[in-house]
A and B are shown apart, each in its own frame.
Chain A
Amino acid sequence: MKWLMVAIIVGSTVLADLLQSFEMKRHGEVEVRDLHPSRVGRMLTRWAQRGLLVLAVFFMAISFFAFMKLLSVADLSFAVPVTAASVVIETILARLLLKEKVSLMRWAGACCVACGVALLAV
């Protein structure tokens, strides 16, 4: 049960972030003026019509509820390092699928963050 929840959390977090990043890049850079309260409603309506963004939010919800379930069967000190593992997996997939240029410095940074989050949970 514990490891099934871990797989669901990591899988849905990775999918949600990849879909969000992919779709927001396709959407193009959000203009600062679109963040004005009088225009933000129109922008959100446009986002809600993008199927992949809606799917990303759906995966985030799955990840959230699976995390809640995991906390009921495992300690927080076990559950949090799982989030740390997803940082490294997502960096690898961002390089392979999103074609981002991940420099050595970025790899080092991602690994430091993953180790750091794991240590915070000790």
Chain B
Amino acid sequence: MTPGRMVLEDATAKGVSHRRVDFKTKVLTAVVVLTNVLGNFSLSWGMKHLPTTFGNSPLAYIQTILSPWVLLGTTLLVLWLLSRMTLLSWADLSYVLPVTSIGYVLTAVLGKYFFGEQITWQRWLGTFAIMTGMILVGLTTPNTTAASQAGDEA
């Protein structure tokens, strides 16, 4: 094989690998956002629709924790924590924070449709600013640190 062809094949392999990393990072970002938004929504819905008034007795606490919506919310938030940790092993913190901020917008939208909350023009402006920030950061390379390429564990 000629050196020129080797360089070309190496570059092509790197390109494919970069695209794969980019794709899996974006898919996991969506998982992180959805588990966070749906987890918070389930918790909020569960707390607002408790069968009995939330009291101070231990039984009331147990009843709250075991209610289906609260259980679903807690499970989704555990999944959020684990998927976010995985995402942080793939991408920079300064990338993860802004791109997952779309969650604030989705929470506001869910609040409007399910809890009847008002979305003022300031909120729309905020939504626009978050989307702009997310797109700007989303266009940068997710991982810029060399250390993460190596890892200290097999």
Question: Which residues from chain A sit less than 8 Å from chain B, CB to CB?
Answer: 17-18, 20-21, 24-30, 32, 35, 44, 46-47, 53, 57, 60, 87, 90-91, 94-95, 98-103, 105-106, 108-122
Q: Shortest CB–CB separation between residue B117 and chain A, in angstroms?
A: 11
A26-B145 contact given A87-B101, A90-B93, CB 8 Å threshold = no
In the bound complex, CA of A35 to CA of B90 (Å)? 14
In the bound complex, CA of A90 to CA of B88 (Å)? 14
On chain B, the residues within 8 Å of A120 by CB distance are 104-105, 108, 122-123, 126-127, 130
Q: Does B115 contact A (CB under 8 A)?
A: no
Contact: B148 with A119, CB < 8 Å? no
Contact: B94 with A94, CB < 8 Å? yes
Contact: A116 with B101, CB < 8 Å? yes
On chain B, the residues within 8 Å of A115 by CB distance are 126, 129
Q: Does B89 contact A (CB under 8 A)?
A: yes
On chain B, the residues within 8 Å of A47 by CB distance are 85
Could you list 8 examples of A-B contacts with CB < 8 Å? Answer: A25-B88, A25-B147, A28-B151, A29-B151, A90-B97, A99-B147, A109-B134, A116-B128
On chain B, the residues within 8 Å of A108 by CB distance are 133, 136
Q: Does B137 contact A (CB under 8 A)?
A: yes
Question: Which residues from chain B sit less than 8 Å from chain A, CB to CB?
Answer: 24, 81-82, 84-86, 88-90, 92-98, 101, 104-105, 108, 120, 122-123, 125-140, 144-145, 147-153
Q: Of B94, B151, B152, which is within 8 A of A90 by CB?
A: B94
On chain B, the residues within 8 Å of A94 by CB distance are 92-94
Contact: B145 with A116, CB < 8 Å? no
Q: Shortest CB–CB separation between residue A31 and chain B, in angstroms?
A: 10
Taking each of A98, A101, A109, which has the highest tally of chain B beta carbons within 10 Å of its own beta carbon? A109
In the bound complex, CA of A101 to CA of B98 (Å)? 15
Contact: B145 with A28, CB < 8 Å? no
In the bound complex, CA of A117 to CA of B131 (Å)? 11
In the bound complex, CA of A116 to CA of B98 (Å)? 11
In the bound complex, CA of A112 to CA of B101 (Å)? 11
Q: Shortest CB–CB separation between residue B7 and chain A, in angstroms?
A: 25
Contact: A101 with B144, CB < 8 Å? yes
Contact: B85 with A98, CB < 8 Å? no
On chain A, the residues within 8 Å of B138 by CB distance are 109
Contact: A24 with B85, CB < 8 Å? yes
A18-B123 contact given A110-B137, A116-B133, CB 8 Å threshold = no
In the bound complex, CA of A110 to CA of B101 (Å)? 10
Q: Shortest CB–CB separation between residue B153 and chain A, in angstroms?
A: 5
